[in-house]
Amino acid sequence: MKCYKNDSVVEYWQFTRINYNYGVPSFIRRIINNSIEIKKNTVTLYSQYGGEVIAGDFITSNGDTININENDYIVINHDNTINVYSPLQFDTLYTRIN
């Protein structure tokens, strides 16, 4: 899906149980599989207890780990940087275009 902020179009995906079970979009899979380098960041997504709990980790190029919680948004900016936002943060910063 795409959205924009300050006239820049970016790709995003909301990490929900339904979306996770439906399938991770290709731009997220490429990061997870390390088939493209996104500013030396890595994303790991997982489910536990038969899908009762979903979570993930975003490791920045500085080595900092940011937890990805259910309903968070993963955004890939036009310069290939990754950000993780809570739903409130995302809705404040971005406008959906599809």
- The pTM of the full predicted model, rounded to 2 decimals, is 0.78
Residue 42 phi/psi, 5° resolution?
A: -130, 150
What's the domain range around 33? 2-93
Convert the pLDDT of each residue in 5-23 to its tens digit.
666 778 888 988 888 878 7
Q: Would 64 be classed as within a structural domain?
A: yes
Show the tokens assigned to 22.
């439906």
Q: What percent of the chain has pLDDT over 70?
A: 81
Q: Would 39 be classed as within a structural domain?
A: yes
Give the Å distances, CA to CA, from 10 to 13, 32, 63, 81, 90.
10, 18, 24, 10, 12
| pLDDT for position 63 | 81
Q: Would 98 be classed as within a structural domain?
A: no
Q: Does residue 51 or residue 88 have the better pLDDT?
A: 88
How many domains are there within the chain? 1
